[in-house]
């Protein structure tokens, strides 16, 4: 079931995980699943809640409609779109770099 993730009081954007994203998070990630989930919740989501467009691991994908962004953690990519009207970051999918 899609879910809205916890947020802080100063955050502009909410984080929403699609069912596909949640399914993707259940993959093994080469034995790093817990490390990846922890990094998402403690570092990535707080950054995306305040500034989803800028950062050293953030890149806008070319020729995607709607505009789609990716966040890099090691060899893995996490794809999302931003809905500025609802102040929401929608996490779409996660995959290994070579498969993405």
Residue 8: what pLDDT? 59
Tell me: pLDDT of 9 over 60.
Answer: no
Q: How many domains does the chain have?
A: 1
Q: What is the CATH number of the domain that holds 75?
A: 3.30.2310.20
- Rounded to an integer, the average pLDDT of 14-39 is 90
Would you say 11 and 50 are in contact if contact means Cβ atoms under 8 Å apart? yes
Locate 75 and state its tokens. Answer: 């060899």
22 to 6, 78, 90: CA distances (angstroms)? 15, 11, 12
- Rounded to an integer, the average pLDDT of 36-52 is 93
Residue 1: what pLDDT? 62
CB count, 10 Å around CB of 14?
A: 18
Which domain covers residue 17, as residue numbers?
3-96
Beta-ladder partners of 70: 59, 79
Q: Where are the beta strands (DSSP E) in 18-87?
A: 58-60, 69-73, 76-83
């Amino acid at each position: 079931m899609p879910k809205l993730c916890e947020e802080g009081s100063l955050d502009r954007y909410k984080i929403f995980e699609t069912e596909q994203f949640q399914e993707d998070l259940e993959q093994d990630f080469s034995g790093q699943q817990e490390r990846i989930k922890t990094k998402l919740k403690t570092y990535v989501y707080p950054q995306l809640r305040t500034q989803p467009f800028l950062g050293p691991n953030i890149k806008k994908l070319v020729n995607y409609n709607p505009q789609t962004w990716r966040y890099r953690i090691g060899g893995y990519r996490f794809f999302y779109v931003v809905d500025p009207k609802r102040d929401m970051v929608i996490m779409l999918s996660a995959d290994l770099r070579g498969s993405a």
